Each structure stands twice: as C-alpha cells, then as structure tokens.
Chain A
Amino acid sequence: MAKRRAISTTALCWLFLASTVLCGLAAAEEPDLNGLWQAVGTAHWNLEGGHAEKGPATIVLGALGAIPAGHSYVEGGTIPYTDEARAQREEYRSEWNLWDPVVKCFIPGFPRQTYMPLPFHIVQSEEKIFIAYEWGSNSRIIHLDRPGTRGELPSWMGYSVGRWEGDTLVVEVTDQMPDTWLDATGTWHSDQLKVTERYTPMGANHIEYEATIEDPQVFTRPWTIKMPLYRRMEEGARLLEYKCVPFAEDAMWSHLRRGADRTKPVLKNLY
C-alpha cells in the first residue's frame, strides 16, 4: 500500500512565493523601446555610400541642396544585385529623381521608412507595437500576437509580424508593394521582397537597427544593413507632421496646371 504523501505547508509557501516571483520576472522581460527615435546619417540617400555631389535641387538650393558624402551601411560594402537587376538600377540611378517613389511622397516601405531623416515614435504594448513616422505621417503596426501570418493584400508598408528573441525585437516584413526603393539610387526590388528587422537596445538611448533584405528575383543572396537609432533627447521633443503630398504635387502635376504644357510632365512613372 502506497504511503500517502502530504505536501508540507512550508513547501506550499515556497511554491507560492516562487510562482509570484517568476510571474513578476516574466512580465519584466522585454526591453522598453517606447519613445522618439531617429536614424542619423545618409542611408536614405545612398546605402552604399560615396562622396558628396550635386543633386537635382542644387540649382535652386545651392549648398543646401546637394547630396552629402556617406559610408556604406551594407555588410560587405555593395548590394548584391544580379547583373540584370543592376542594369535596371543604374538606369534608374542616372535620373533617379524622375523615378523615385519617395519624391512623389509615396510610402517608402521597409527598411527605407526607418532611416528617412525625421523621427519616429514607438508605442509599445505586449500584443502590438505601433510606430508612427514623421516622414509622410506614415505608420505601421507590428503584430506580436500573430506569429506565422501574412498580409491579405500587398501594401506599401508591408505586413509586420514581430517576436522577441532575448533583448531583440525581430520583425518580419512581408507582402510589400514592389514599387518602392531602398534608397535614392534606384535600388528597386520585386514583389518577392522579404525584410527582417532587428531592434536591439544599446543602453538607454540607442537601438542597434539591422535589416536583412532578401529578394531572390533581384539579389544573388540575402544581405544586411546596420545602423544605430538615436533617441531624440531634447526636452519636449515630439513627433511632428510632414504630410508631403502638397510638396509632391508640384513635381507630379505641374504639367496639368492651367497654362502649362500638359504633354511635358516633370516626373516619370506617373499614374
């Protein structure tokens, strides 16, 4: 006959205490990414870097309207385009501002929206992370509670599913429209693009941002970019508004104004 074992009161007390402590620890696990952040640098101009040069706006903006020098953000230095895709990239690059969707104030998609030169605000909760971007007044929602799902339709910001790996927020972005670029040098891609972002805190005021870019149609292999994100430290720093449609309209539709020559649009690839 088995001896009936009783759980001692002491053991129960320890079990209770342990479970409370563990619950507390579990709740405190993830880093807090809340706040106003910004990439600083030249990634939005040119991921591969280069020297300073004139741009399309130099004629009217002078020294304020040129493209600055930058280093490469690409691991390995250059973007591994296939030969065919690179040829197309160079065609776009030669008159980039006539084709760049961002000149038209189109939604940049990822990773480019992250390093546009204006801040973004991360609002973090357990199930969802909302990021509001000042550039374009665009935003995205990262679903932490929908692992393995995909978007129902392609979208300009894509569909973001996130998870925590230790201290790193890993975000998989799928289902992006094929019409975006990765910077201002004609870095186009196809509808097969998949981007995996990693946000890892480096101290209280910096995040290390990495993005791995995969698109078997245009790149020979996946490749990665990396840059810090900086917390905006000014007192009272707030996400402001840069709704750029009114700025893009001149470039897009000036040929359709009364008195203009409607057969001569400024930009290409208009709808």
Chain B
Amino acid sequence: MARTARRFVTTFAAIAVLVGAPLAVNAHHAFSSEFDANRPFTIEGTVVKVEWVNPHSWIHVDVTKEDGTTESWMMEGGTPNTLLRRGISRTVLAVGSEVIVRGYQSKDPDCVPKCRGSGRDITFANGESLFMGSSGTGAPRDGSDPRER
C-alpha cells in the first residue's frame, strides 16, 4: 500500500498564518476531552460503516488481529453536511476501503462497544489520506469560550 500519501490539504499552521485571526477550527467540542495523548495507536483494517451523523461522523474500522479475532474501532470525523457538500463520500469514505489509521485512543479505555479513537491520519489504499492531526497552532473557536461567538 502506498506510503506516500497525497494529502487533501494543508496543516493548520499555514491556515492560521494566512487568516491572521483566530480560526474556528475543528470540533463541536474539544477532542482533548475525549482522547488521550498518552494512548497512541496504529491499526490496519477495513472500513465497515460510516455513520453520517451530527455533530460528527463516525468511521468504523474492523481490524483482524493475529489471533483471528476482530477488534472494532470507530474514529470521529467531520459534520456530514460538509462531507456531502464536498463530495467526500464518493471519493474517500467507501465501505470496504483498506485503511491504515494512526491516532489516539479515547480516555475511556474500554472497547465497549467499540474502541474509540481520533484518527490522526487515515491513509487509503489509493494513496489519499485524511489528516486529522495538528501542527498544534491556532486558537480555534469551538464554542467553549463565550467571547468567541
């Protein structure tokens, strides 16, 4: 599977510099309240479901472990309304896609009903990728600070 990933777009550092003002990035809520930076993971598996729900879509990936059992993961993504408008579903989020996902597992460590992760990068067999990580800049607006609305 090609490791050279053709990225969709850019890092947030570039965006923040361009716009020159606090950029409302990301989440309906802080990912940091859900996921644990001390629990990184890498999995390789198959997309089995994409939940087109708000506030965030969820991409479900099944991983076949060495012992033959299946471990089920779900990764949090963007609002489906945006995905629809950008035609992302047809090109990228296809059920059956083989993916490699690197990310961080939830602070709730139990995989009940499924392991939860923030997919920092999701790379598809066709070389395209979804980059959901960060260069750690910007002061995004996510609704938590009432001044920023």
Contacts and interface: CB of A to CB of B under 8 A. Distances in A.
Interface in B24-54: 52
Interface string B60-81: 0000000000000000000010
A153 B80 CA distance: 10
Contacts, number: 4
A186 B52 CA distance: 26
Contacts of A153: 52, 80, 84
Nearest to A177: B53
A152 B90 CA distance: 13
Contacts of B80: 153
A79 to B, nearest CB: 29
Interface in A17-71: none
Nearest to B80: A153
Interface in A121-173: 152-153
Contacts of A152: 84
Contacts of B84: 152-153
A206 to B, nearest CB: 36
A153 B52 CA distance: 8
Contacts of B52: 153
Nearest to B81: A153
A152 B89 CA distance: 12
B16 to A, nearest CB: 32
A101 to B, nearest CB: 14
A80 B80 CA distance: 36
A30 to B, nearest CB: 31
Interface in A191-220: none
B83 to A, nearest CB: 10
B99 to A, nearest CB: 22
Interface string B74-113: 0000001000100000000000000000000000000000
B39 to A, nearest CB: 20
A151 to B, nearest CB: 11
Nearest to A152: B84
A241 B28 CA distance: 22
A180 to B, nearest CB: 15
A255 to B, nearest CB: 14
Nearest to A153: B52
B56 to A, nearest CB: 12
B112 to A, nearest CB: 11
A76 B52 CA distance: 38
B137 to A, nearest CB: 33
A104 to B, nearest CB: 15
Nearest to B84: A152
A152 B80 CA distance: 11
Nearest to A154: B52
A105 to B, nearest CB: 15
A153 B53 CA distance: 10
A260 to B, nearest CB: 16
4 contacts: A152-B84, A153-B52, A153-B80, A153-B84
Closest 4 CB pairs of A and B: A153-B52, A152-B84, A153-B80, A153-B84
